[in-house]
Amino acid sequence: MKIKLKRERISSVALISFTDVIFLLLIFLLISSNFITRSGLQVQLPSSSSRQNEFNRNLSVTLTSTDEVFIENEYVKWEDITVRLTQMLVNDPEQVVVIRADEDVPLKKVVHLLDEVQKTGTNRFFIATEFEQERK
């Protein structure tokens, strides 16, 4: 009995490694997109030479150069800041309040905004700045 062995070329392209790479890129894109915390409001943040910690659960409070306050991109009157922040912090008290003030805003206004944030009872807040790398 004679056994014939067929020797055929494999004509299909192995796409397994290509799909793995695309899958890993997709996962990386989805994970890294969660760390973007910038809001749609255009403010010029003051620069700082030290890096700040990024937290997962941020509550953004933005003070523009025109003296307008936005909480999570929603306009809020100065009188309603404490009430609105308290409502948002009741749902998740572990949130960190990020103060984003334009660099042209007087310090007096930023301190007033910090006072309003502290009235909510939270001690988890910081002031956002742009990281400025030192030139050598």
The residue ranges of every structural domain in the chain are: 47-131
Question: What topology is assigned to 47-131 in CATH?
Answer: Nucleotidyltransferase; domain 5 (3.30.420)
Residue spans of alpha helices (H) in 1-136: 16-33, 81-91, 107-118
Q: What is the pLDDT of residues 47-97, one digit of tens each?
A: 555 555 554 578 888 888 888 899 888 899 989 888 898 888 888 777 888
Q: Which residue has the higher pLDDT, 43 or 3?
A: 3
DSSP3 helix / strand / coil % (the chain, rounded to 5)? 30, 20, 50
Roughly how many angstroms between the first and final C-alpha of the chain, as a whole number? 82
